[in-house]
Amino acid sequence: MAVETQKAVQTQPLVSRRPWLSSKRVRNTVRSILTHAALIPAALIFMLPFLWMLSTSLKTDAQLYTYPPVWIPNPINWMNYPNTVTYITFFLYMRNTVIIAASATLGALISCSLVAYSLARIPWPGRHVLFIITVATLMLPFQVTLIPLFLVFKNLGWVGDFRPLIVPHFFGSGLYIFLLRQFFMTLPIELSEAARIDGASEFRIYWSIILPLAKAALATVAIFEFIARWRDYLGPLIYLNNQKLYVLSLGLYEYSSQYGREWGLLMAASVLITLPIILLFFFLQKIFVQGIALTGIKG
Amino acid sequence: MFWIYPILASAYYSFTDFNGVQDPVWVGAQNYTTLFVQDSDFRLAVYNTLYFAVVSIPLAIVVSFGLAMLLNAKIRFQTVYRTIYFLPTLVPEVALALVWVYLFTPGSGLINVPFDWIGVRGPCWLSCPAWSRPTIVLLALWIIGQQVILYLAGLQDVPQDLYDAADVDGAGFWRKFRNVTVPMMTPVVFFHLVTSVIGALQFFTVPYIMTGGTGFPGGTLLFYSIYLYKQAFQRFNMGYASAMAWLLFAVALLITLVIFRTSRRWVFYGGADLS
């Protein structure tokens, strides 16, 4: 039977309904062409805002309002870039943004990994309840805590500097605790038991065994948090009132005045702000996807 | 501890007249009755926010699931594509919102150029009440990078054996999608649904920047969070704003509970048994 079939295929390849699809390789090529055909238009749409930013950042004021709009300005006006970093105190704002984003990320990493460790790896009564409470905070709209937190920081005299934007992140965040706990749960418990027999303290196990194994998950948390802080607008809007301490997202507002917007300069600044995180994401996206897959959103 | 104090404090403030400086004055349920009986801006903000949530969440689920399927294929330039889809999510929201305003302004923006080619008058997009709500739903679809990544990670978690088994049974692409991919992905959809309800109810920065907080045109872009922010930090009605926050919390909790209740029927946790 098998021999017959094979023979039939060999002698009558045209019997197949779609002979050009018969070989697996051809089929794969067709499939990948179709995939690209779907991905490329979508990619163009997703690139549109950024490309338009780029294009506008290279235009002079006169070129801005031509209709229909042009993509590649002629002549290309590079001057928006050197001008934009002096129009607002760009590098000062960037320094502030980096300080806040880096400290908050560090805080989130330390606090969330410690809490997640205790929830996942140390048996103590009430930890399940605490875990549910932690997840429940994810459902809490930020508006509920917004006002009381503002008042707490005001009474502490912290409003106007970086502390309200950094310190809360040292107290953990539901989402990251959830992700890290899910990941820590997947590591074999024997690792901890062996270390305990050798007399290692809990902190030692956490620091020298669990953390090194959780690099991808930690990296994911770090990127999430860093990007979130880099882009944050509401926090700085509420807490910062001294212009010397402004961050980039607030600085972008200075290009608008009652006389209109400096579109070219604004877009040049936006490109400069976005570029570092694009690079960060491009090089780390693999860890990122793996990190989330490993942490197992799936429960 | 860091959560409990603010939650209780905000509950207390919601029953007071409080400007953030002087001591709060107890007024009973007055804030709540004012919200429901008198405040037409509040009703408008509720309507806008619900409209946004109801329309944008299903769209976001379909689009991000679809994109993740495409991105999961073994193709060249995978990294480049993934980065591109994430691009709008990386652009600071302030810059993004301003670019959108620029792109979607009829008369000078890029958006109506294709309509001019075919000689049709394009829609008015963000500048008229009839189009502004659908437009902002569309714009929000641009920033689904994180969701796409989430689905992508979920897809990579689906055990290959299941597909192999389906292949042996002679299942085609569509049947594999319906009977393997979708059931295995329901936990991700569930996670996405829950988080995006909260996300949609908190939608703030983009419409705030776009409209300068005014809710232009015709109040159609006045979202709940914007109204709350204005009450709390521009008019200093902190008690009133706390009442709004608590109502929002109650609604969010209610919706979440409903989703959790129904989830037993459609979410499939198979991972433990199958892997």
Q: How far is CA A14 from the centre of its chain?
A: 52
Contact status, residue A147 vs residue A89, Cβ threshold 8 Å: no
Arithmetic mean of pLDDT, A260-264 = 78
Pick the CATH number of B28-274 from 3.40.190.170, 3.40.50.1000, 1.10.3720.10, 2.40.50.140: 1.10.3720.10
Quote the crossing angle between the two packed helices A174-186 and A263-295, to the nearest 10°: 30
Does the pLDDT of residue B77 top 90, yes or no? no
* ipTM exceeds 0.90, yes or no: no
Contact status, residue A124 vs residue A117, Cβ threshold 8 Å: no
Beta bridge partners of residue B25, listed in sequence order: B17
Does the pLDDT of residue B52 top 90, yes or no? yes
A252 touches chain B (CB under 8 A): yes
Quick one: tokens of B253? 């909790």
Quick one: tokens of B177? 């999608």
ω before B159 within 30° of 0 (cis)?
no
What pLDDT band is residue B143 in, cutting at 50, 70 and 90? confident
Arithmetic mean of pLDDT, A69-82 = 80
Q: Hunting for tokens 């070219």 — which residue is that? A: A264
A41 touches chain B (CB under 8 A): no
* The pLDDT of residue A223: 84
Q: What percent of chain B has pLDDT over 90?
A: 8
Write the DSSP assignment of A134-190 as a string of letters: HHHHTTS-HHHHHHHHHHHHHHHT-TTSSHHHHGGGGG--HHHHHHHHHHHHHS-HH
Interface test mutation site (partner B, options A139, A224, A280, max chain B beta carbons within 10 A): A139
Among residues 241-260 of chain B, which lie with CB inside 8 Å of chain A? 241-242, 244-246, 248-249, 252-253, 256
* The pLDDT of residue A259: 67
Which has more pLDDT, B91 or A65?
A: B91
Arithmetic mean of pLDDT, A116-143 = 80
Which residue from B146, B101, B140, B67 is spatially nearest to A53, judged by alpha carbons?
Answer: B101
Domains of chain A: residue spans and CATH: 17-77 (no CATH), 84-295 (1.10.3720.10)
What pLDDT band is residue A12 in, cutting at 50, 70 and 90? very low
CB atoms inside a 10 Å sphere around CB B159 = 14
Which residue from A80, A73, A31 is spatially nearest to A55, judged by alpha carbons?
Answer: A73
* Contacts of residue B209, Cβ cutoff 8 Å, sequence gap at least 6: A233, B93, B94, B97, B98
Domain ranges of chain B: 28-274
Contacts of A98 in chain B (CB under 8 A): none
* Contacts of residue A140, Cβ cutoff 8 Å, sequence gap at least 6: B3, B7, B249, B252
Quote the longest CA-to-CA distance of chain B: 74
Among residues 59-98 of chain B, which lie with CB inside 8 Å of chain A? 67, 70-71, 73-76, 79, 81-96, 98
Does the pLDDT of residue A196 top 80, yes or no? yes
Distance CA A133, CA A129 (A): 6
